[in-house]
Amino acid sequence: MFLDPAKMDYRVSPQSPAAKLGFKNFVMDNFGHTMTRIAPFWKEFERQTVITITPDQRGGAVYYTTDGTEPTSKSKKYTGPFPIDQSTLVKAITVNTKGEVLGFPNETFYTEVDKVVYPSWYQTLISGKQGQNIARQTVRAKVEVAGLVLINIKDEPDLIDASGGYNSGCFIDTIDPQKGNHWLKSGIQANMIIQGIENEKIIDITGLQKALVKYAGQTVSVKTVSGYESKTFQVQLP
């Protein structure tokens, strides 16, 4: 029974069983990742969603873009939550009074879909009600694709936490040194998350398989993330 997990507010409500046991809320934003943050956490929405940006904890003004360009101090200044009603790439930075960018730029791609389907662990989180299929009961389903052993990151909450909060893409568990040599030659490594090929967003393993068929035999740009770092590699597909 968190207050607003969709906006990353993990304080518990007064009605929470934890509160009744004596748990006391404490400040939730002064540890871990304290750089520029973009919410909501879930990156898919129906019709419309409202974007909230939190500045780097060291203070400063937030500037952002929604057209794919890199934000600067001349970009639109964030003054409060704003709505989007179509698939949008939001990029944001925090700039201090000296004009210096604090921490790393943050970017999140929000996708408009006909119907949002939350995995059971997230549905449990936002509803505040314990379900039958909670996160820890999920068994990691590994699939071998073109020399990569992959896991759908949206199905595995531990990986979402460990990888920096990304909730879409294909987590690379291992790479076969022979069948996956073309990945290794490009610089791609295990523990990265594949999130895009060319201009296509890769949400899960099925999407990656379709893209590999579409671009077979071509050299393609493959977007990956790991921690808070995004990298693009040129891969010659077999």
Is residue 137 very low, low, confident or very high in pLDDT (cuts 50, 70, 90)? very low
pLDDT in tens, 8-62: 788 888 988 888 899 999 887 666 668 899 999 888 899 999 999 999 989 999 9
Whether 171 contacts 204, CB under 8 Å: no
Residue type, 146: A
For 208-234, write each residue's pLDDT tens digit.
999 999 999 999 999 998 877 789 999
Q: Which helix (H) or strand (E) holds 205?
A: helix 205-214
Query: At 138, is the pLDDT very low, low, confident or very high (cuts 50, 70, 90)?
Result: very low
Which sequence spans correspond to the domains of the chain?
2-112, 139-236
The CATH architecture to which 139-236 belongs is Roll (2.30)
Q: Evaluate the CA torsion angle 63, 68, 69, 75 in order and state its sign.
A: negative
Using only C-alpha atoms, what is the Rg of the chain? Answer: 19
- Separation between Cα atoms, residue 206 and residue 215, nearest integer Å: 15
Beta bridge partners of 153: none
- Please tell me whether residue 104 adopts helix, strand or coil conformation: strand
How many angstroms separate the Cα of 85 from the Cα of each of 52, 62, 80?
14, 22, 17
Measure the CA–CA gap between 47 and 177, rounded to whole angstroms: 44
Tell me what the mean pLDDT of segment 105-133 comes to.
77
pTM over 0.75: no
Alpha helix (H) ranges present in 130-187? 157-162, 181-186
Q: How far is CA 165 from CA 60, 161, 229, in A?
A: 23, 5, 12
Fold of 2-112: Immunoglobulin-like (2.60.40)
